[in-house]
Amino acid sequence: MGKILKVSQPGIEINNEEGDSSRKGLVPVPKAINQHTERKIMLRTRMTALFLLTAIAAMCIVPAMGEPKAAEHWKITGMKVKMFSQEDGELSDVDVMNVITSSANAPLHPILVVVEVSGNPDPSNGFKVQLTAKEKGKQIFIKANATSFASNGDKFYVPFWIDGYRCEPVVLTARVVGQRPASTMTKTIKFDCSE
């Protein structure tokens, strides 16, 4: 006599040998149903194996990829100041070590501040270069530039134009915002309007 298969309903037994119903309450099961059931079991086994292989492969690949690379930090490495002459349209270098004097009747002209930055000028990193100018402790200028400037090797330059006429010392502070620690540089331009 063949093996007896049980189903979920209580009191019903199914014989897996076709045509053998010699015992009371047994129902013959055609071989086609058994083959169908075997195919389903094989398919489930293959799907489970495929899922496990995929999961194992993913666990191996993700650590190999590593952490995303952090954005390269910027460092402020220089600051140049140039004074603009409205008489001849020329820019002249300002020596921060000297006092720059002018008459009260002819105060000094607007200035161009060029900040030198070391690092990759990738605009996607979210960094900005900010310049602040103070005169007698009062803020007279603040601006942040998000850069997409081309670099010369590992350096690039960020310009800031400060309008107005200067008769008092101006404290310039350049800093990189959007990164920690922030890189900063401060210079004082000693303007003076004599009598």
Query: Tens-of-pLDDT digits for all 195 residues of the chain?
Result: 444 444 444 444 444 444 444 555 555 555 556 676 777 777 777 777 777 777 777 676 655 454 444 557 889 999 999 988 777 888 888 887 877 777 666 656 788 999 999 887 776 778 889 999 999 899 999 998 876 556 666 888 899 998 877 778 899 999 999 888 889 999 998 888 765
User: What's the burial of 3, exposed, middle or buried (CB within 10 Å: 0-12/13-18/19+)?
Assistant: exposed
| CA-angle at 57, arms to 55 and 62, nearest 5° | 95
Overall pTM surpassing 0.75 (yes/no): no
Other C-beta atoms closer than 10 Å to the C-beta of 66 total 7
Give me the phi and psi of 12, to 5 degrees please. Answer: -115, 125
Please name the amino acid found at residue 41.
I
- Peptide linkage before 123 cis (omega within 30 of 0): no
Q: Which of 132, 136, 129 has its CA nearest to residue 166?
A: 136
Q: What whole-number distance in Å separates Cα of residue 12 and Cα of residue 7?
A: 7
